[in-house]
Structure 1
Amino acid sequence: MSEFRAIRIDKDEGGHHADFVVMRERDLMDGDVDMEVAYSAINYKDGLAVTGKGPVVRRFPMIPGVDLAGRVTRSTHPDFAPGDIAIATACGLGEAHYGGFAQKARLFGDWLVKLPPPLTPARAMAVGTAGLTAMFCVMALERHGARPEDGLVAVTGAAGGVGSFAVALLAKAGWRVAAVTGRSEEADYLSWLGAAEIIGRDEFAAAGRPLQTQRFAAGIDTVGGVALANLLAQTQFDGAIAACGNVGGMEFQANLAPFILRGVAMLGVESVRPRIALRRAAWARIAQYLDPAAIDAMSEIIPFDAALERARSIVAGRIRGRVVIDMGLNLPREAPD
């Protein structure tokens, strides 16, 4: 069947709008691997793309969807063959290349990772770019030399997608985790994921002194802005912060004091570039570390018909954890026995 359903973003005389459409395989962009998309997921960036509230889309028309998982149907890439189950995250999907909010995709094999057992396609999408970014942050802290025995690690925006996975991954790695959140109602959820302490976002919301009481050996910041500045100011000697998010703003007022008086390091983490070897290593660790029950607790599965409305909801902050889109391909949700 050459026709398939997709959510397409157009920009014309009527402005920026996203709608369900029917497309044909000939409409797909270039690539050396064709896939039937089984699952996608809703990221904050997808919400910005759908609503037009952020400069995400770099060409029109565009199919949003930063993440996708599915079955290879055609390949000229040496690493993939028809029948393989593969994952794609970021790499310009939903921005410059048609993404996962469609029942078919044509991508480049250098962007893809084969599904590592025991992950299922649905759980891989529950992890998605959010979980992969969290794993990149954990690996960045490890490369810096940070260890669980150094002390408490903080995670800002802990109830969000990246934050939730950061809490779970750090706890699994042996860290004592302090979850920073503005949603007190999520305390039980964060404790279940492995947080040892719950800290209210208000403690990080106002600009503070350049050097504050040393509370944290390390941190993962998903927020940016004032929260990041305060986290740096509260990090102990030789600590490190992996910074990966900007929902609190791209700019923050910082001071050199944490860096030159306490030797604190800020480690930038990005998850868009392919860097396939790093991606494979991160996915292998995710498959090893994350309990299926934890993945399921952080996610819900919705039908494709509900994806457009839910993508709009994420911008308004009405989504906890991860929302997975079932595209109707009927790949198994559960891992085989």
Structure 2
Amino acid sequence: MFKAILIEKDDAGYRAGLTELNDSQLPDGEVTVRVEYSTLNYKDALAITGKGPVVRRFPMVPGVDLAGTVESSDSDRYQAGDRVLLNGWGVGEGHWGGLAQKARLKADWLIPLPETFSAKQAMAIGTAGYTAMLSVMALEQHGLTPASGPVLVTGANGGVGSFSIALLAALGYTVMASTGRPEEADYLKRLGAAEILDRAELVEKGKPLAKERWAGAIDSAGSHTLANVCAGTRYGGVVAACGLAQGMDFPSTVAPFILRGVTLAGIDSVMRPREDRLAAWQRLADVLDTGMLDEIAHEVGLEEAIDTATRLIEGSVQGRTVVDVNR
């Protein structure tokens, strides 16, 4: 038996609760992992609270991230005792995920846990840090350098935003951080932000083109925020779009793209090929100061994750939430 958060939907309604499950209930997969840590991402919070149509089948164990030790394997790629991690692949949506003490998964979904990180540190990074690094790599691939000019990060107090600031600052970029919580400016400056912008500047409908203010940006909001970010990007700049916290719509025009040559780079972290995942995690190991993780992440137990999910949806959770599934 093992503990897990289980989401159910039936005639009694939609609900998530902590329960005990039997190993025989685990889904199909080549590798069984004894989970040590998971995380609580925005997508997980949507799934647990039912605030978004994330879960595609029921019952479902949420959790798009996990790190732990292989318990058994039918794959040549992994053996019992191997340390592994997982991000995405629809886990926690269509296949039981990481907010449990055990998970059974396809071998292709797993990658080795970098020796640089413990399981807890890897989950403090999680999908948020991995997505932030994919975004930074996209900026670099499109020619952005610290000499190009400042880089704007929206949703700065969230997980992706926090890691984006820390990574960009570590690489020598000047970072502008947009937040709806200006009272937490000191936190953002400790991560490496040089300038704080009030989110109110970006969330309403703006002009097709605005003053050129940043050479690049990482946006996790979408909607009017992303449109305004593009409108304020300098000639030849690049914007990495990796989230939809404000909305899925994109009420923009082609003006930034055909008059200023702005590039809009889409960042998918869920179905990313294995090679890209390995590259991103290696860059994280090379660049990230693990001492920053205590600043960015806080820990909760498995049962606490349910209440924390509600607060995350409300926007009152700072940084990353690491879930110790064994307490």
TM-score band, normalised by the shorter chain? over 0.9
Separation of aligned partners in 1, 2:203 and 2:303: 37
1:125 partnered with 2:123: yes
- Give the C-alpha shift of residue 148 in structure 1: 1.2
SS at 1:7 equivalent: strand
- What letter is aligned with 1:154? L
Tell me if the contact between 1:67 and 1:125 (Cα under 8 Å) persists in the aligned partners.
yes
Q: For 1:290, which of 288, 291, 303 is the aligned residue?
A: 288
- Could you tell me which runs of 5 or more consecutive residues in structure 1 were left unpaired when the two chains were aligned: 330-337
Task: Tell me which residue corresponds to 1:245.
Answer: 243
C-alpha offsets along residues 97-137 of structure 1, whole Å, 9 cap, x if unaligned?
Answer: 00011100001111111111221100100110011110110
Q: Quote the RMSD (CA, aligned, Å).
A: 1.0
1:222 partnered with 2:246: no
Task: Tell me which residue corresponds to 2:204.
Answer: 206
Tell me if the contact between 1:34 and 1:72 (Cα under 8 Å) persists in the aligned partners.
yes
Task: Tell me which residue corresponds to 1:308.
Answer: 306
SS at 1:132 equivalent: helix
Task: Tell me which residue corresponds to 1:88.
Answer: 86
Separation of aligned partners in 2, 1:320 and 1:256: 34
Q: For 1:31, which of 29, 32, 56 is the aligned residue?
A: 29
Deviates more, 1:201-210 or 1:179-188: 201-210
1:266 partnered with 2:237: no
- Give the C-alpha shift of residue 274 in structure 1: 4.3
- Give the C-alpha shift of residue 312 in structure 1: 2.2
Tell me if the contact between 1:211 and 1:234 (Cα under 8 Å) persists in the aligned partners.
yes
Tell me if the contact between 1:123 and 1:296 (Cα under 8 Å) persists in the aligned partners.
no
Q: How does 1:1-337 map to 2 (within 5 A)?
A: 3-328=1-326
- Give the C-alpha shift of residue 321 in structure 1: 0.4
Tell me if the contact between 1:111 and 1:274 (Cα under 8 Å) persists in the aligned partners.
no
- Could you tell me which runs of 5 or more consecutive residues in structure 2 were left unpaired when the two chains were aligned: none
Tell me if the contact between 2:156 and 2:162 (Cα under 8 Å) persists in the aligned partners.
yes
Separation of aligned partners in 2, 1:25 and 1:31: 12
C-alpha offsets along residues 206-264 of structure 1, whole Å, 9 cap, x if unaligned?
Answer: 22211111011000001111111111111011101000110111112111111111000
Q: TM-score, normalised by structure 2?
A: 0.98
Separation of aligned partners in 2, 1:19 and 1:202: 36
Separation of aligned partners in 1, 2:4 and 2:157: 29
Separation of aligned partners in 1, 2:206 and 2:309: 35
Tell me if the contact between 1:154 and 1:178 (Cα under 8 Å) persists in the aligned partners.
yes
Q: TM-score, normalised by structure 1?
A: 0.95
Separation of aligned partners in 1, 2:284 and 2:115: 10
Task: Tell me which residue corresponds to 1:334.
Answer: none
C-alpha offsets along residues 58-85 of structure 1, whole Å, 9 cap, x if unaligned?
Answer: 0011000111110101112222111111
Task: Tell me which residue corresponds to 1:333.
Answer: none
Separation of aligned partners in 1, 2:48 and 2:290: 30
Separation of aligned partners in 2, 1:132 and 1:10: 29
Separation of aligned partners in 2, 1:79 and 1:164: 33
Tell me if the contact between 1:110 and 1:274 (Cα under 8 Å) persists in the aligned partners.
no
Aligned pair count reads: 327
Cα 1:274–1:29 shift into 2, 3 Å: farther
Separation of aligned partners in 2, 1:125 and 1:304: 14
Tell me if the contact between 2:5 and 2:302 (Cα under 8 Å) persists in the aligned partners.
no
- What letter is aligned with 2:262? V
Separation of aligned partners in 1, 2:79 and 2:58: 30
- What letter is aligned with 2:307? E
